Amino acid sequence: MHAQSKKILGIHLGLVIAEVICVSALVLELRRALGGNQLSWAYVFEWPILGLYGIYVWRKLLQEERGTTSNHVSKTPDNEEVDEARAAYNDYLRRVHDDDSDS
C-alpha cells in the first residue's frame, strides 16, 4: 500500500473514531439530561459542535494530504518597490517634521 494511501486511510479512520465518540457521548448526555441532570444540556449541544469540528479538520487534512489546498500566497514586492515606498515615506516624514518645526 502506498504511503499516501495509508495516511489518507488513517485520516478517514480518525474521523470515524471521532464521530463514534461524539455520537455516543451525545446519546449518553441526552439521556442524562432527560433524566433530570440540568448540566448535561450543555453537553448535548457541545458534542454535535465537536463532531462538526472533526469533519472540518478531516476535510482540511485530506486537502493538505492530496495537495489541493487553496493557499492564497501573496506576491512579495521586490527590493526596488520596497526602496521606492520607503523613500517616499521618509520624504513624507521629513515634510511633516519640517512643518512641525516651523510652528
What proportion of the chain, given as a percentage, has pLDDT over 90?
A: 59
Cβ neighbour number for residue 83 with a 10 Å cutoff: 11
Does a structural domain hold residue 103? no
Does a structural domain hold residue 95? no
pLDDT digits (tens, 9 = 90+) for 34-67: 999 999 999 999 999 999 999 999 999 999 988 8
Does a structural domain hold residue 94? no
What proportion of the chain, given as a percentage, has pLDDT over 70?
A: 88
Question: Across residues 67-84, what is the average pLDDT?
Answer: 70
pLDDT above 80 for 101: no
Name which residue leads in pLDDT, 95 or 74: 95
What's the pTM?
0.61
How many domains is the chain built from?
A: 1
Does a structural domain hold residue 36? yes
What is the structure's pLDDT at 77? 64
**Domain coverage including residue 40:** 3-70
Does a structural domain hold residue 26? yes
d(CA 74, CA 34) in angstroms, rounded, equals: 52
Q: Burial-class residue 96 by CB neighbours within 10 Å (0-12, 13-18, 19+).
A: exposed
